[in-house]
Amino acid sequence: MNIIKKFALVAGMGALLSSAAYADGLQGKVIGFSQIGSESGWRAAETSVTKAEAAELGIDLKFADAQQKQENQIKAIRGFIAQGVDAILIAPVVATGWDEVLTEAKEANIPVVLLDRGVDAPEDLYLTSVASDQVKEGAVAGQWLISTVGDKPCKVVEIEGTVGSSPAINRKKGFDEAVAAVPTITIVRSQTGEFTRSKGKEVMEGFIKAENGGKDICAVYAHNDDMAVGAIQAIKDAGLKPGTDILVVSIDSVPDIFSAMVAGEANASVELTPNMAGPAFAALDAYLNNGTIPPKFIITESKLYTPADDPQGEYDRRKGLGY
């Protein structure tokens, strides 16, 4: 994920997000999508959102699930080229080993868009890449906390993702840098919850014991929603009210965090959108129909959701996506 740094240089792509600007531009186009697999709920949601977006735009989407194997992805891409598709989307399983097949696509004049992960290949081999900015996700969560607590002193505990993983490093960096600007907000404890619900609960239990039965904790920041849901359980077990006594902010926006918001137990979640295909299709539309070259790195919006944003509606909208 070293390209994340480059993402920071790129301006928001708000204009590209509205596909209405290019009415039925991709109608009838054949687009191949080589997906990694369905290893996580988010991945499954990305697949179903991509299929839905394609159906809406009238795209004939050729979908290939690689079952976590690069060789299957390369085979699928070669198959797409042989078929003569109009464009190819790839969510690459590893960063290396794409030069040859991407060159083949380039020679066949088929534009390639990378989704949500980058590759170690020359930039001219693909049209653009669509991904989220993990540092920004953490920063948005930090900004929300700053605007919520104002100048009151606030002790924050942080539940980190898997040690060494890029989302854990970047989401910590973004949040820590944001709150460092406000001297009244201090991160008192930080520990890994390995992105799982059970570990998140365990870590929060430890924090509560260490911080005067939880009375000294003002807010908890979890690197993903699953750990936040675990933390909410731990707060309830300690006899405190999550969302009121201890503020809960996390990242991902999975359906469960919205049901927690409906119950008043979670305060904010920054979305890692599964809709990587929307901006990709918009960029392809502009490229195929008008010849517009999109920026090399398109960053998806890191939208903040709070209980004011119709959490019940958001829950209903997401629950069928496969999370």
Partner 1 sequence: MNRALRPLVATTAIFILAYMAAILQFPNMLSTRVIGNLLTDNAFLGIAAVGMTFVIISGGIDLSVGAVIGFTTVLNAILIMWVGLHPFAAFAISLIIAAAFGAVMGAAIHYLKVPAFIVTLAGMFLARGGASVLSPDSIGIKHDLYTSISKSYILLPGGGRLTIIAMIMLAVFAAGIILAHRTRFGSYVYALGGNETSAALMGVPVARTTILIYTLSSTLAGLAGIVFSLYTSAGYSLSALGVELDAIAAVVIGGTLLTGGYGFVAGTFIGVMLQGLVQTYIVFDGTLSSWWTKIVIGALLFMFILLQRLVFSASTPTRNVFWKT
Site residues, partner 1 (CB under 8 A): 32, 60-72, 74-76, 78-84, 94-97, 99-100, 103, 120
Shortest reach from residue 45's CB to partner 1, in Å: 17
For partner 1, give the closer residue by CB, 114 or 270: 114
Q: C-alpha angle 310/314/319, rounded to 5°?
A: 150
Q: Which is nearer to partner 1, 12 or 97 (CB)?
A: 97
- Residue 318 Cα to chain centre, angstroms: 14
Closest distance to partner 1 from the beta carbon of 173 (Å): 21
Nearer to partner 1, 78 or 189 (CB): 78
Q: How far is the CB of 298 from partner 1 (least distance, A)?
A: 24
- 221 contacts 156 by C-beta, under 8 angstroms: yes
Closest CB 78 distance from partner 1, rounded Å: 5
Element holding 81 (H helix, E strand) = helix 70-83
Task: Please answer whether residues 119 and 98 qualify as being in contact, where contact means their C-beta atoms are separated by less than 8 angstroms.
Answer: yes
Q: Pairing state of beta strands 128-131 and 297-299? A: parallel
Euclidean distance between CA atoms 22 and 41, whole angstroms? 31
Least separation, in Å, of the C-beta of 65 and partner 1?
A: 4
For partner 1, which is the closer residue by CB, 102 or 149? 102
Give me the long-range contacts of 109-112 (CB less than 8 A, separation at least 24): 110/80, 110/81, 110/85, 110/86, 111/87, 111/284, 111/287, 111/288, 112/87, 112/88
Q: Which is nearer to partner 1, 122 or 213 (CB)?
A: 122
Closest distance between partner 1 and the C-beta of residue 221, in Å? 29
Q: Which is closer to partner 1, CB of 97 or CB of 206?
A: 97
- CA distances 79 to 28, 32, 126, Å, are 19, 9, 17
Nearer of residues 85 and 257 to partner 1, judged by Cβ: 85
Looking at residue 11, what DSSP letter applies? P
Minimum distance, C-beta of residue 62 to partner 1, in the bound complex (Å): 3
Report d(CA 189, CA 149) in Å as an integer: 18
Structure tokens at 174: 């973004």
